[in-house]
Structure 1
């Protein structure tokens, strides 16, 4: 791969008999994208993650009988070869990540309301080491009748596993001890917020969460010693005057720590926020159309690009980042992919 090309995998809502995980390329000169190859045999590969060596890829199968898949990655072609797949013993796993040391896979099961940890064997095989069932509810009777973990990830130091539970209005902290998830603390959001996705500032001082149900973005102070979050600020994830749609989706901070982006599926937009370098607080700047429908996920790429996955228009759209102010400009390039819902860059972004 040349320095002018970046690779990424795309997860989709497709059947097991169709190609569902696609390896794609991004031309860093102009934002043009192409499909390189595809992998079948997995239904609804709605979230993906890779290990640091980039020779293993892990995916969830977001189905009523959820599963997690492990693949080896061909170093020359990027093709995926199935190593193992195991049930999550739950429904609709929608997020997957790795612990910082790469020893365990973490999975959030939205519908059944539980979280899994899997130990990764020497040959890439998966062994479930922990299953934690969340309990409780919150004020939105339609969407918060029970627990709904929507993302699971570790803090910058790898001390804690955090779970955004949309159904409980909580960000739940665990410690992973000998493969077991051990309860530590639960940080609360506003009632009815519905925490969905989350990202840490590169400094580790602050963190940012997007709330699906009330279409807001939270700024948190992160206490790495105590394992806790304190809300510093709450802003709208939508432009002023926009109708609330309970559809805010994804959130990412640029590696430079100056800009934050948040996507919303009712407005089909990505919002830009500037980050105050001394306080971590946000200032709303603008919202840009994703030129498609239902941007469930997006990713930031080296060379200064954002790629948005428009689930219901079957497209991925590329945008150029203005390095001075973070504003997004469409490149004019669109990639047709069936129901794209996750974009996973292969190389770490250095923008």
Structure 2
């Protein structure tokens, strides 16, 4: 993505909360401004999206009790559904990722990870469902497993799932030929922390886990050779005394690996954390307003110069210019997007 001309973005939303499904938008590369091009509600609750490597196909979860994944042709102005959606065999998929010719979904309510093969521009039938086991000390939120995210590691050798209900991370191996997903190992985190999302450092040596039930960030060393995660520290993502009713949602790392940004629902803020040379001691620099209410997702544009917050309850996506020296975002504009839940860039 250059610094002039236009690019594309896609906004997911909750149709059951008044969202319009998937909104396609143009991106002014000079200003970061989004302008709507079209929308589709062909799938219920497309709350999380991912683009194919060439940017021609958009994949979406359907965060419903039935649980499904769908593929859209996005070569035109408005997304067009490619074939039928495919059941993932899990309830309320909240996240998906592409790896080794497959789509993987994290299914929150059933606490599982599903594998669906790619068949050209359409989807095949699911090949595997790996069910998590366990619970946590928070009786209201951790009565059982709740897989919230799944993603490949930077080496492409492993798949990592983040489970809010069991306070743990699971490292799995995906057989690209058969689509079978097998458990390799599990890493326990602080009881009651409720891990939600994880991001790897660009150097591939560390992972940062954002916790929802406690607004903290857990730093882990990552060994791609052995497929192991080792927790080494924890940092608050909001100032002392401001924990009440704060539910962190998404974590992003800068392209140069110097900064982390976290979105905080309730606190309605974006946290700025600076990383030291060890990559193991993030320091909270400041928090800034998210430009709305209940920021469910936070995305860095391909240039690395802007952040976009999907504010679910205020129904807007706000963009911010990032100070390259301090990492502090400055609000620059917004677009209305009812029940917005995520933003991805083409």
* Residue aligned with 1:83, SS: coil
The answer to whether residue 201 in structure 2 is matched with residue 201 in structure 1 is yes
Query: Residue in 1 aligned with 2:181?
Result: 181
The answer to whether residue 69 in structure 2 is matched with residue 71 in structure 1 is no
Structure 2, gaps ≥5 residues long: none
Q: 1:186 to 1:303 in 2, by over 3 A?
A: closer
Contact 2:214 2:243 in 1 (8 A): no
The answer to whether residue 129 in structure 2 is matched with residue 128 in structure 1 is no
Deviations 1:64-90 (A, max 9, x none): 11111112222x536333233111222
Contact 2:312 2:339 in 1 (8 A): yes
1-structure distance, mates of 2:265, 2:19? 25
Deviations 1:212-253 (A, max 9, x none): 011110111101111111112201121222133251100010
Query: Residue in 1 aligned with 2:107?
Result: 109
If the length of structure 2 is used for normalisation, what is the TM-score? 0.94
* Residue aligned with 2:84, SS: strand
Aligned pairs, number: 342
Contact 2:209 2:218 in 1 (8 A): yes
2-structure distance, mates of 1:313, 1:78? 24
2-structure distance, mates of 1:122, 1:7? 22
- How big is the alpha-carbon RMSD for the aligned residues of Structure 1 and Structure 2? 1.8
Contact 1:120 1:127 in 2 (8 A): no
2-structure distance, mates of 1:163, 1:115? 8
Query: Residue in 1 aligned with 2:167?
Result: 169
Contact 2:70 2:123 in 1 (8 A): no
If the length of structure 1 is used for normalisation, what is the TM-score? 0.93
Q: 1:327 to 1:127 in 2, by over 3 A?
A: same
1-structure distance, mates of 2:165, 2:17? 29
Mean CA deviation greater in 31-40 or 304-313 = 31-40
1-structure distance, mates of 2:104, 2:203? 24
2-structure distance, mates of 1:340, 1:265? 13
Query: Residue in 2 aligned with 1:81?
Result: 81
Structure 1, gaps ≥5 residues long: 347-351
Q: 1:242 to 1:176 in 2, by over 3 A?
A: same
Contact 2:193 2:214 in 1 (8 A): yes
